[in-house]
Chains A and B, each alone.
Chain A
Amino acid sequence: AQTIHQWPVAEIKAVGSPLSLGCTIKGKSSPNLYWYWQATGGTLQQLFYSITVGQVESVVQLNLSASRPKDDQFILSTEKLLLSHSGFYLCAWSLELGVYAEQFFGPGTRLTVL
């Protein structure tokens, strides 16, 4: 069975500090990967997607970057956090590409920037 793991579960960071959030999918080869973010009181919005190792496309510009160093790993990072980065970050994967394709979500990471 496939599993998706996100780390850390929660993080409290200072403005200007670096950030690295991770996501690992086990049990599926070559998944399509996605990062979503939800600001407090806001809507979940897609930030990045990747359909293969080493290739990541940005959907929304938020002064964040993403990388896919391995087939089963997706990393979200920044060198300098902003207050506006606070929120809930979800990693997701899908096996198929298409409007009908179900996306499977991880449990998320709650980030508080002070």
Chain B
Amino acid sequence: GDSVTQTEGLVTLTEGLPVMLNCTYQTAYSTFLFWYVQHLNEAPKLLLKSSTDNKRTEHQGFHATLHKSSSSFHLQKSSAQLSDSALYYCALSENSGGSNYKLTFGKGTLLTVTP
């Protein structure tokens, strides 16, 4: 079945440094990838999504490029802010049968940005 791997469970950065959160995936069919962000005591919210190979997608200062050749969709930001501290999930969308479209999530990366 499909799977998503986020290698870092916890990332701690100093404010102003660049952010890179890794995401790789395995899929037989679908290549629609999402990044969701969950701030403390809030619901996960969509940050980015893409299905286009080698095209950079940007939102709220974050960007990611889907690379089908390496099955990767890493999340990046040039300069971390304190407000970026949150749990980040990479997810793959797939049709799991019939009318169901489910998200297969990675385990999540907790990003903590310090002053």
Binding site for B on A (CB under 8 A): 4, 32, 34, 36, 41-46, 49, 51, 57, 59, 90, 94, 97-108
Contact = CB atoms under 8 A, between A and B. Distances in A.
B94 interface: yes
A62 B53 CA distance: 36
Interface residues of B, number: 30
Contact of B101 (A43, A45, A90, A101): A101
Contacts of A97: 99, 101
Nearest to A44: B105
B99 A51 contact: yes
Nearest to B96: A59
B84 to A, nearest CB: 19
Contacts of A46: 96, 102-103
Contacts of A103: 103
Contacts of B45: 104-105
A102 B105 CA distance: 14
Interface in B93-112: 93-96, 98-108
A108 B100 CA distance: 21
A18 to B, nearest CB: 26
Interface of B: 4, 30, 32, 34, 36, 41-46, 49, 51, 89, 91, 93-96, 98-108
A107 B32 contact: no
B100 A99 contact: no
Contact of B95 (A4, A36, A99): A99
A43 B46 CA distance: 17
Contact of B30 (A4, A36, A90, A99): A99
Contacts of B51: 99-100
A37 B11 CA distance: 23
A99 B102 CA distance: 8
Please list the 6 inter-chain residue pairs (A to B) with the smallest Cβ-Cβ separation, ordered nearest first.
A44-B105, A46-B102, A99-B32, A99-B93, A105-B43, A105-B44
